[in-house]
Structure formats: C-alpha cells, structure tokens
Structure 1
C-alpha cells in the first residue's frame, strides 16, 4: 500500500491530531476528501477495510481532530480541559468503536468511518487520562505543531521525527553555519 500519511507521534490519536500540519503558519490540511480520510484510517493500521466515507464524515473527523488537538494542548500545558472540546471528543468516544474479528486467516478489522473515528476518540481518552501525559512534547521545529510522546532516554527528543523535521532543521543549521563561517583559502 502506498503510504501518504506520516505516523511519527507515538500514538494514533496524536497522529490523527497532526493531520492539520503547520498550524501556526502554512496550515496544510491532510483530510481534504473522504478518500484521504479513508486512507488515513487504513494506513494507521486502525482498520483493514472501511466502508467509503462521505463529506459529512470528513467534517465530523475534522471537528473531532480539532477538539482533540485542543485537549492535547490543554493537557501538555497543564491547563484545565476546554469544556467544548471535551464534549466533542467524549461524544465521539461514546459511539460504537471498531471491533476486530477473528478469521481463519487471523485478525480482520472492518469498520465504518464513524466506528473508526469513535476508536480514535476512545484512544484519545485513554491517552489523556493515562500515564503518558507527562511525556507529551511539541516538535522543536517552529513550523511544526505535531505533539508526540517522548520516550527517549532523559526525554531529550526534540523532533516529531528525524525524516519529517529533524533532518530539515539540522540541515538548515549546517547551511547557516557554513554561510556565516569565514572563507579559508
């Protein structure tokens, strides 16, 4: 399968929240069509098969994603949860989630877009009420707004991912140093 989406945050709910990129600047929306939403659910490993989505599924997913991002930000900053965002995520989490089935060939997970979204919302509830909250960090790239779980030794990780942000920042810093260094002949 061709993977168009990036999964570097260490948790499906955080990767889902990161489907709107560069929130402080260019704002790149990943979930622009029902097909892109379906692709995210498949590529995330949440489902093996999903019924085709509609525009309403995209609007609902974006609303849940934005509420989830607000709650992640609230928790990361040690603030009280925003009540409206809490209501949106909890309402989605109350719906029936994805239910894996056992087949003669192994595990198979088929779902509707609503079930997939309910599963992401349920995962968000578990994350934001669980032991990983102190490990939530925002990427050190000023253009990136991904939040990830930092399980590195000493919590020294600076980037959401080396390929997505770390290499870009390191290369830019190297070029800046080379440009600033006096030429030696």
Structure 2
C-alpha cells in the first residue's frame, strides 16, 4: 500500500497487481484496508510494529511524524481497526452499532492523542508538524477521535460499502451530490460499467434474433 501526496487516498492493488487510488474520505477509514475481522483477516498487513509506522506515514496525516510503536500497541491497532470495520459496515447497511465496538473506540479516544505543532516552512511560511516522540497509543487515540467525529457528524449517513458485489471496501461519500457508489471508478466503477454494457449488448443481440 502506497500513499499519494497530491491527492488524498491510498494506492491499493487489485488481485492481478494493478494499482488504483482509493480515497475512503476519513483517517479512521484509511485503517480498514490493512485487514479486518473474520474472513478479512486474510488481507492482514499489520504483522509487526514497523507496519503500523509505515501505515501512518502513508495515511492522510501530515508528514514528519516521529513514531515508535510497541508490540502491544500493534495488537491494540488491530483491535481498534476490527471494531471500526464492524461499526462502519453496520452504519453503511443501516444496522445498529454494537456497544462493545463503541466501547473500543471510546476507550482509545480517551487517551492522549498526537500533539500537533507549527514548524518553520519554506520562505516565511509555516507547516503543521508533530511533537517528537509520538507513540502508537497516541496515534490510535487520534484515529479513534477521528472516528467519533465521523460517526457523530454530518457525514455519518454517507458511510457506504462499495456497490460492487465482490468488493467490501468502506468509505464516506464526501462528494457534493452524495452519489458515490464505488470504492474507485478506475476499479469497481469501470468494471461494473463494462459489465452493464455487455449485458445491454447481449440483450440487444437476443432481441434481434427473436
């Protein structure tokens, strides 16, 4: 998984290895493609603390994060991610949110978050940075607080699952019209458009033969 600096989002890869840009629309949802509960465990990429450090560097968090992650914090990250995955899926499908998953998010959010600071930028400008010595615990608190903002904010009803039958990526639709259906047009959107086009052509051919 690679970050894209010019455009928010993550560069993921199809099963065939082709890269595509996926923007889940929120920091907390960027954590979900790293794995998940149940059958999604086969996609696990957070195997060691360095993997979480790499995820943070590739996320939409501003750069320059001096982060150290312990083995126990890595386990906490997977637990938070799995809870967020269940909550986002429940929200996307209009189901009630499980109290046990909310407890996981609230417990992480109650801890100290990452500490932002201002550093000198190019020329006379300034850039947003992070206080040195950040911990995995602080990172997870920041992710959990982002989730609280999302689930209680104006976009809570726009959390969706990709409309493709074979894709379970979750995102928040931040587009003005609120009609986003696919994880990415260059992957599922185009595939489903091509499938619909073939179905229409097949129907036209069948009618022509009748």
TM-score bracket for this pair, using the shorter chain length: 0.7 to 0.9
Query: What corresponds to 1:57 in structure 2?
Result: 73
For normalisation by structure 1, the TM-score amounts to: 0.80
Candidates 56, 75, 96, aligned match of 2:91: 75
- Displacement of 1:113: 1.4
Report the CA distance between 1:130 and its aligned residue: 0.9
Alpha carbons of 1:128 and 1:154: their partners in 2 closer, same or farther (altered >3 Å)? Answer: same
Deviation, structure 1 residue 150 = 1.9
Residue 15 of structure 2 is matched in structure 1 by: none
Query: Structure 2 regions of 5+ residues with no counterpart?
Result: 5-9, 12-21, 122-126, 206-210
Equivalent position SS for 2:78: helix
Mapped contact 1:76–1:133 kept (Cα < 8 A): no
Structure with greater Cα Rg? 2
Return closer, same or farther for 1:175/1:20 CA change in 2, 3 Å cut-off: farther
Q: Which one of the candidate residues 80, 87, 107 is aligned to 2:128?
A: 107
- Normalising by structure 2, report the TM-score: 0.72
Following TM superposition, by how much is the alpha carbon of 1:180 offset from its aligned partner in structure 2, in angstroms? 9.3
Does structure 1 conserve the Cα–Cα contact (< 8 Å) formed by 2:80 and 2:105? yes
Tell me: higher relative CO, structure 1 or 2? Use CA pairs within 8 A at least 6 residues apart. 1
Match of 1:129 in 2: 152
Which one of 39, 51, 68 corresponds to residue 36 of structure 1?
51
- More divergent stretch after superposition (169-178 vs 29-38): 169-178
Q: Which runs of 5+ in 1 are unaligned?
A: none
Range with bigger deviation, 15-24 or 153-162: 15-24
Q: How does 1:1-185 map to 2 (within 5 A)?
A: 3=3, 5-6=10-11, 7-20=22-35, 27-46=42-61, 47-105=63-121, 106-109=127-130, 110=132, 111-152=134-175, 154-170=177-193
C-alpha distance in 2 between matches for 1:95 and 1:103 = 25
Aligned-CA RMSD value: 3.1
